[in-house]
Amino acid sequence: MARKKVECRLATWDDVDAELGELVELKAQEDGVESEMNDALKAIRDQFAPALAQIGEARSEAESQVKAFCVEHRADFGARKSRELTHGTVSFRLGNPTLALKNRDWNWKSVLASVKGAMNVVLRRCVRVKEEIDKEAVLAAKAAGKVSDQELAESGLKVAQKETFGIELRYEEPAKAGGKGAA
């Protein structure tokens, strides 16, 4: 979506300062309304929290009972992994496969060494070696003058930096804020 150009109606720094004062007022109003909204939301949450907690505990207990029964009667499922009932379906599902250490004698460092030395070529190819540009090091080298713009360009790089505009509002009386910004 294209950004539309804003036509400036401010002519002097005094106009800018007056507009900043308006921003301070609007921000204070916004904060007040948000505070009222948050208070109302908290009151509603507090009102319904006991009932929701009680329902949550009852639901958790019911789910535990259903699960315990299904585990005890797993043989009733037969070869199937689910069982349809009037009010729902209960099931046992396998999660996604993950790798785990075989036992406490192994750690990931010893597994890596073992896989690197494995006779199985396919298993040896399962070791990752990730190469990537160290962007922070390139920027540090450029800042230190060890790399030129030409050298970066020859490698397909350039240092890019964006300028952004910001407004910092003061929430104190203008007399305390000090002098006005001049052009």
Q: What is the pLDDT of residues 16-70, one digit of tens each?
A: 999 999 999 999 999 999 999 999 999 999 999 999 999 999 999 999 999 999 9
Where in the chain are the domains? 11-94, 99-158
Residues of the chain by 3-state class (helix, strand, coil), percent to 5 = 50, 5, 45
In this structure, are residues 80 and 90 in contact, taking their beta carbons and an 8 Å threshold?
no
Greater model confidence, 175 or 59: 59
Average pLDDT, stretch 162-182? 71
Neighbour-count burial of 47, counting CB atoms closer than 10 A to its CB (0-12 exposed, 13-18 middle, 19+ buried): exposed
Distance CA 174, CA 180 (A): 9
Residues 6+ apart with CB under 8 A from 74: 92
pTM for the predicted model, two decimal places: 0.55
Inform me whether the pLDDT recorded for 112 exceeds 50.
yes
In this structure, are residues 180 and 13 in contact, taking their beta carbons and an 8 Å threshold?
yes
Inform me whether the pLDDT recorded for 109 exceeds 60.
yes
What is the gyration radius of the CA atoms in the chain, in angstroms?
Answer: 33
In this structure, are residues 151 and 168 in contact, taking their beta carbons and an 8 Å threshold?
no
